Amino acid sequence: MSENTAITGLTSTRDIARAAVRARLAEVAFELFRREGFDRVTVNEVSAAAGVSRSTFLRYFATKEEAILSAFDAQDALASQALLDCPVDQDDWTALRHAMSTTLEPFRRAQQEFLPLARLVDSTPALSAGRREKQVAWRDALARALAERAGGSTAEAPPLHALVRAAAAVECMNIAVSQWTRSDGRADLDDLLDAAFAALREE
């Protein structure tokens, strides 16, 4: 996982330094988990490999799962903003397709990093469960954006149809990434995402 990705958009020296340390810890954790197996590596071992204390590691990540899943932080905000930026007369499914495409940008840009990351998450139950938990926030953020596009109030809970459409869009993205991972990155991610949304809209 790239340190440059982690520090993009930060301006203060303190924030940049913290982001760099956080990215380095995540990188060390990922390499250990990939080599030794997620369940066989402890927080103490990750800390030792990174040259920091256990308490330092835990200041940046509450769990070892978080060290890996931090790669997906802020995707809900990026996707929901992309959805809001779509033309208001564009249908929801087309807008959602565009929004979910933004979550795939790291996979396109840094395939050599994200392909093994996707493999690790898919093959580790604790990481798969953690990703699903994160995606509840993605679903809710997308549903609120859908409601806002329709002129609804962001102060209210999003309507059922918006939650269902948002959940379906996230699952289309999951399926596209899963198929891409199984193809060892040879399949085209955008083609897979298009196919997933097309299947969703079939009558």
Residue 137 and residue 60 share a domain: no
d(CA 15, CA 19): 6
pLDDT at residue 74, as a whole number: 81
d(CA 159, CA 146): 9
- Mean pLDDT on 178-201: 94
Which region among 36-50, 55-69, 97-111 has the lowest average model confidence (pLDDT)?
Answer: 97-111
More confident residue, 17 or 199: 199
Give the tens place of pLDDT for each residue, 52-84: 999 999 999 999 999 999 988 888 889 999 999
Give the tens place of pLDDT for each residue, 125-155: 999 999 999 999 899 999 999 999 988 766 6
pLDDT at residue 6, as a whole number: 47
d(CA 51, CA 81): 38
**For residue 91, what is the domain's CATH number?**
1.10.357.10
d(CA 133, CA 23): 22
- H or E element: which one contains 166? helix 160-182
pLDDT at residue 133, as a whole number: 92
Tokens of residue 56, six digits: 């330092």
Residue 136 and residue 109 share a domain: yes
**For residue 24, what is the domain's CATH number?**
1.10.10.60
Task: Report whether pLDDT(1) > 70.
Answer: no
The last residue of one of the domains, among 42, 69, 96, is 69
More confident residue, 67 or 5: 67
Nearest one of 64, 63, 82 to 74, comparing CA atoms: 82
Task: Report whether pLDDT(183) > 90.
Answer: yes
Residue 81 and residue 51 share a domain: no
Contact partners, residue 97, CB within 8 Å, separation at least 6: 169, 172, 193, 194, 197
Torsion, CA 122, CA 124, CA 126, CA 128, rounded to 10: 0
Q: Is 62 exposed, middle or buried (0-12, 13-18, 19+ CB in 10 A)?
A: exposed
The last residue of one of the domains, among 19, 44, 69, is 69
Residue 79 and residue 59 share a domain: no
Domain interval for residue 47: 3-69
Nearest one of 100, 96, 117, 99 to 185, comparing CA atoms: 117
